[in-house]
Structure 1
Amino acid sequence: MSPAPSLRSRAALLWLLAVLLMAATVIYQRRTGPTHPLRGTVTVGGKAVAYRFIRSEETVREARVALPDPGVPATLVWRRFPVQEAWTRQAMVREEKDGRAELAGYLPKQLAAGKLEYSVEVGEPGAIQRIPATDPIVLRYKGPVPAPLLLAHLSMMFVAVLVGLRAGLGALFGPEAPRRLLWITLACLTLGGLILGPFVQKAAFGAYWTGFPWGYDLTDNKTLLMWLAWAAAALVAGLRPRRSEVWPRAAVLAATLAMAVVYLIPHSLRGSQLDYGKVKAGADASDAVVTGR
């Protein structure tokens, strides 16, 4: 086989591996984190009932909590989080949705970054089961983000992950640092994370940036860490190959490792949270949002 086809085959294989790694990253991010739906199965009256309870909702509507009708009554139990107040109890009603019967209850709208904690009690008196059986579910409200803005932000971040992983694989298995991929990754992180990301944050929670040095938002800090790692790699690698590619390749690998570590941390941990105490004291809602909670 000639060298050119061999190089093309290796490049295609590395791209395929990068795509698979990115897909695994996306699936992991969708399945983890405090805002993704909580899924599980509970047995009620000898019947298995699969539930999917939401943990995120927009400020423009009530949050619908529903489960397949188990044939027994259910009650939605909730209160503001983390306010130590009496629990509100609401009987869930039978509704038809997508051709199946459900029991549904509705949590009231909250301000951006406001949170409610809730659980569902199922069964007749004397045989009530609480879902979940341990701690209540915490649901956070966010402002609506324009679809084009959110799509552009997510697209840039996904491309950054894909190209960044491919750059790391190229640095690991190639003779020199893949500079073109490095600079594409940095550009996508800059646009998606540092430019579009703050606009998404502003629409959702009322502030452009809540990470270092003004706050403790973990998502913002993760984005900053990734950007700094790739910016440092770009400074080390430069624009043209060097006599020794040891340090440029090492810099790209370090940046890829930093990206991998960041994406192993579930999304939306230690994010924005409304301080109901400040709101009660008369503070504007935009000034009552704290981070790192």
Structure 2
Amino acid sequence: MNKVLKNVIMWTIALLLTLATVVYQRMTGPTHPVRGNVTLENEEIRFRLIRSFPMPMDAPIRVKVESEKITGSFEYKRTPSHDEKTVEDMVRKDEYLIAYIPQQPPAGKVMYQITLQGEEEKVKLTENPIIIRFRGSVPAWAFIPHVIIIFIAMLLSTRAGLAAIFKEKTFTLTLWTLITLIVGGLIFGPIMQKYAFGEWWTGWPLGTDLTDNKTAIAFLFWAYAMVKVYKNHYHRGWVLAASVIMLIVFLIPHSLLGSEIDWTQEAMP
């Protein structure tokens, strides 16, 4: 196999693995909408319940229900909190029933559960309450570069791991993986965090934000791999280790154990 063909194959494998990781991460994260369907009054009702919403307004949860014989209500409370649940009626607008979840400060969470009522029966859309987290709006100039550069970092990391496995030169791939991880994760990442939740960094040692922590772990592994590769441009062990760690940490669902306001604190209203 010639070098060009081998290189194309390696980059294709790296791209496919990276895309699979990104899709899995997004589909399993706690901010991914909950979808499903129920049947009430001989009508199949499909729903999509959001779990993340940008301020500054109440979060509208829309459920398409064509039959006007069906009404809806929703119960909600801040979480974590000692609040009692509040129950309100959903508002009908044309063919939609809408629940308006009261807006919260950045990182404020509310759990809610929707019930639809027919003439003779009622049904809950979900067995357990849904948790929605409010966030500030992130400008495109911060969001778009963050997403693109982090994707490139993941792609380069995977390609570097393959280079280590097949005994290729790893210096350039390691260098650019580290650079893109720093720019995308440690520069644009905190900028996004500040806009969305009002804090630059909520990982260790300041908090338990898993997104921040996994970025820091990936950076430490790649920084050490860079030290090793600087001495030996064909170094394999730590490059492969850093690539595997990068893959593992980015398989962890996005926003898991993310920033939140603890409403159980006495100082909170």
**TM-score w.r.t. structure 2 length?**
0.93
Mapped to 1, the partners of 2:43 and 2:56 lie a distance apart of: 35
- Among 164, 172, 175, the residue aligned to 1:171: 164
Residues 253-292 of structure 1 mapped to structure 2, 5 A cutoff? 253-278=240-265, 281=267
Name the amino acid aligned to 2:113. Answer: S
Q: Of 127, 136, 156, which aligns to 2:121?
A: 127
Inter-CA distance 26–282: structure 2 relative to 1 (3 Å threshold): closer
| Residues 120-269 of structure 1: pairs in structure 2 closer than 5 A | 120-124=114-118, 127-133=121-127, 135-173=128-166, 175-238=167-230, 241=233, 245=234, 248-269=235-256
- The answer (yes or no) to whether the contact 1:177–1:252 under 8 Å persists in 2 is no
The match for 1:49 is 45
Could you tell me how far apart the structure 1 residues matched to 2:49 and 2:254 are?
Answer: 18
2:61 to 65, 81, 98: 65
* Stretches of structure 2 lacking an aligned partner (at least 5 in a row): none
Q: Distance in 1 between matches of 2:45 and 2:175?
A: 50
- Equivalent pair of 1:113/1:274 in contact (CA under 8 Å): yes
Partners of 1:157 and 1:66 lie apart in 2 by: 32
The percent of aligned pairs where both chains have the same amino acid is 39
> How many pairs were matched up?
267
Cα deviation 1:174-201 (Å, max 9, x = unaligned): x334211111110000111111111111
8 Å Cα contact 1:79/1:117 also seen in 2? yes
Partner of 1:88: 86
8 Å Cα contact 2:150/2:180 also seen in 1: yes
Q: Is the 8 A contact 1:69 1:94 kept in 2?
A: no
Contact preservation (8 Å) 1:164, 1:182: yes
Residues 144-200 of structure 1: CA deviation (Å, up to 9, x unaligned): 111111111111101100111111112212x33421111111000011111111111
Q: Which amino acid aligns with 2:236?
A: R
2: CA distance, partners of 1:103 / 1:282: 32
Residue 291 of structure 1 is matched in structure 2 by none
Q: Secondary structure at the match of 1:78?
A: strand
The residue identity in structure 1 corresponding to 2:114 is V
CA root-mean-square deviation: 1.8
- Specify whether residues 23 and 141 from structure 1 end up closer, same or farther in structure 2 by C-alpha distance, changes over 3 A only: same
Amino acid at match of 1:114: G
Q: Distance in 1 between the 2:138 and 2:255 partners?
A: 16
Distance in 1 of aligned mates of 2:207 and 2:189: 15
| CA shift digits 1:258-281 (9 cap, x unpaired) | 011101211111111112244x62
Contact 2:80 2:264 (C-alpha < 8 Å) held by counterparts: no
Q: How much does 1:239 deviate?
A: 6.2
Matches within 5 A, 1:74-113: 74-96=72-94, 101-113=95-107
Structure 1 residue identity aligned to 2:197: F
1:65, CA displacement in angstroms?
A: 0.4
Tell me if the contact between 2:30 and 2:256 (Cα under 8 Å) persists in the aligned partners.
Answer: yes
- In structure 1, C-alpha distance between the alignment counterparts of 2:9 and 2:169, rounded to whole Å: 17
More relative contact order in 1 or in 2 (CA 8 Å, sep 6+)? Answer: 2
Residues 82, 263 of structure 2: 8 Å contact kept: no
Question: Which residue identity is paired with 1:251?
Answer: W
Q: Aligned-pair distance for 1:125?
A: 6.3
Contact 1:49–1:68, Cα closer than 8 Å, also in 2: yes
